[in-house]
Each structure stands twice: as structure tokens, then as C-alpha cells.
Amino acid sequence: MKYRTLGRSGLRVSCLGLGTRGTFGDGISDEVLTAAYDSGVTLFDVTEASGRAEMLLGEVLRSKGWRRSSYVITTRVFLGGQADWSLSRKQVLEGLQGSLQRLQLDYVDVIFAGPRPGPAHTEELVRVMSDVIDRGLALYWGTGGGRAR
């Protein structure tokens, strides 16, 4: 497996990652996750919108007893348990806390916020993401779901 540094972060990830949303229907199997990990995949991506996949991934990771430092978990927050797509402080914090509970983890490596907020919400998003990192709930953050320009 080849590995790369994620952006300018210094975080090393496998070039191939395993995403759970839409890939495994309601979840991820122990066999698939183990095969990926044994093949060198260290990047596992989930989203708060697929809570069942988060629960199953958390259960498999916990049962394997793999060192937390041996894999990278990324998640996307955009609902916060609400139907409002505003990415407010409340929704980011509630969405991430729900993800951490379902994953049975103390932190995620990368949290993505998406879709991108409008210009009025950018300052609030930067503040809450800085707070998330300061609290140790995530190590890095980014945005996603916007169009490339």
C-alpha cells in the first residue's frame, strides 16, 4: 500500500481509503474492514448521516483492539441531527458528539463540514472547528461538498 501526507497536515494516510456511506447499505462487515486493514488501508470515512454505518464501524474497531494510532477516521458533519443545513455551532457540535458516541471513539482524525456554508456562516464555522480541535474532539478539519473553482 502506498501512503501520502494529507494536504499540509503531516497526517499520513493510505492512498486507498474505505468509505462506508452508500457502499455497504446499512453498514460495514467485519470481514471487509479486516481485509482492508490487513491490506494496508488506514483511512476509514463515515458521515453522521449514516449513523448505522458509524455504529457498525465503531463495533468492529472496538472488537479488533487495533491501536488507535494505526488508523485514520474521517467524518462529515452537516445535519447535527437537524433538518437545517446551516452548519451552525450547535449543529456541528451535536453532529460530531453523536458521531463519536456511535463510533465509540474519543476523537476523529478529520472532520469535514459540508456542504460548504454560505459567506455569512464561514466565521462561525471556523470558530466552532477551532473549538472542536481545542477540545480534542478532532485533530484536523476541512470543508467539502462545494464546487471546485
Dihedral angle sign, alpha carbons of residues 29, 32, 33, 34: positive
pLDDT of residue 13: 95
pLDDT of residue 122: 79
Q: Which residue has the higher pLDDT, 148 or 21?
A: 21
Helix ranges, the chain (H): 30-38, 51-64, 89-103, 122-134
Who has greater pLDDT, 76 or 28? 76
Whether the CB-CB separation of 16 and 42 falls below 8 Å is answered with: no
Compute CA 1 distance to the chain's CA centroid, rounded to the nearest angstrom. 21
Q: What average pLDDT does the segment 116-125 reach?
A: 68
Q: What is the pLDDT of residues 38-87, one digit of tens each?
A: 999 999 998 776 777 888 888 889 999 999 999 999 988 865 555 455 67
Q: Which amino acid is at 135?
A: R
**Range 85-96 average pLDDT:** 80
- In the chain, what percentage of residues exceed pLDDT 70? 79
